[in-house]
Amino acid sequence: MGKKIMLVDDAAFMRMMIKDTLTKNGYTEIVEAGNGAIAVANYQTEKPDLVIMDITMPEMDGLEALKQIRAMDSEAKVVMCSAMGQEAMVVDALKQGAKDFIVKPFKPDRIMKTVNNILG
């Protein structure tokens, strides 16, 4: 069975871009969420193998969503996406249990390297 990946970003075009990259590389089970609150709500039902989540979002940011997801599932695999200059937030996310991070603008090979490293 394929691995399920949840993409969390308030920008639909960012989700689209990552989804394209993942699909081209054989990951076809992809669920999306437009903010952290939706991601947390859907995590239980979707049970994704990996979450790729933006740090900066309305409603609930990625750090708070990461905390809540990790509280539900201590084994959760979450990769944070950040813009340049968000180093402090990235460090915070890693302390909270994020597995890795990807810096925008995304390079497809960087996305795939990270995803393949985590999902083996």
CA pair distance 65, 20, nearest whole angstrom: 24
User: Residues of the chain with pLDDT > 90: what percent?
Assistant: 86
Q: Which domains does the chain have, with CATH numbers?
A: 4-119 (3.40.50.2300)
Statement: residue 51 has pLDDT above 80: yes
What confidence tens digit (pLDDT) does each residue in 62-91 have?
999 999 999 999 999 999 999 888 889 999
Statement: residue 1 has pLDDT above 80: no
As to burial, measured by CB atoms within 10 angstroms (0-12 exposed, 13-18 middle, 19+ buried), residue 105 is exposed
As to burial, measured by CB atoms within 10 angstroms (0-12 exposed, 13-18 middle, 19+ buried), residue 22 is buried
Report the chain's mean pLDDT, rounded to a whole number: 94
Q: What pLDDT shows up at residue 77?
A: 98
In the chain, alpha helices (H):
12-24, 36-46, 62-72, 87-95, 108-119
Amino acid at 25: N
Mean pLDDT of 44-53: 97
